[in-house]
Amino acid sequence: MKLSASMEKALNEQYVKELYSAYLYLSMSKDMKREGFTGYASWLKIQHDEELEHAFKISDYIEDREGVTEFGAIDAVTQHFDCPCQVSEAALKHEEFISDSIRSLFKQARAEGDLETEVFLQWYITEQVEEEANAHEIVDGFKATEDDKAAFYSFDQSLKGRKE
Ligand SMILES: [Fe+2]
Ligand SMILES: [Fe+2]
């Protein structure tokens, strides 16, 4: 069944938000690389790749439901960071924003009686729980070690363990 025009528009907006997420994480990755935090830089680059997958999944779904993927404007990323603590806090804040956005989409699907989109979005709701938990873990890791240079460095390097 074809998507409603309003659901198609909302999904296309989420598509752009996921692309923006990728853009944001890539910029954070570059900042961390520049500052010598190569562990977190690598983690953030993998997160960038994952955000692209989130976006592609949405456009595939829009098309499966006879909609058209729209290429709205992606905001510029203008803020630069020099400390991984600030990056991790900003990443957590961003994920909370994305979770809110997914919740609104889900509520819209429910209000419209669009069962297929509800089911589709369940994956994103579960994913956001994981995203927020991961972001919290990194905030805590940098916070717990910030007064000990060696421990701070070794926490950064531990983030290289992320493979996908
Ligand atoms: Fe995402
Ligand atoms: Fe994830």
Cα dihedral across residues 96, 99, 101, 107: positive or negative = negative
Nearest ligand, CA 102: 1
Residue-wise pLDDT for 32-81, tens only, equals 999 999 999 999 999 999 999 999 999 999 999 999 999 999 999 999 99
> Where along the chain do its domains lie?
5-156
Q: Which residues are annotated as a binding site for Fe cation?
A: 18, 51, 54, 95, 128
Backbone φ, ψ for residue 75 (5° rounding):
-60, 150
- Distance set, CA 80 to CA 32, 87, 94 (Å): 10, 9, 15
DSSP character string of 43-78: HHHHHHHHHHHHHHHHHHHHHHTT-----PPPPP--
Q: How much distance in Å is there from the Cα of 130 to the middle of ligand 2?
A: 6
The more confidently predicted of residues 112 and 162 is 112
Q: What is the token pair recorded at 151?
A: 């421990």
Nearest ligand, CA 129: 2
Q: What is the token pair recorded at 23?
A: 């853009």
Residue-wise pLDDT for 72-103, tens only, equals 999 999 999 999 999 999 999 999 999 999 99
DSSP character string of 7-25: HHHHHHHHHHHHHHHHHHH
pLDDT at 35: 98
Q: Which residues are annotated as a binding site?
A: 18, 51, 54, 95, 128
Nearest ligand, CA 46: 2
Which fold does the domain 5-156 belong to in CATH? Ferritin (1.20.1260)
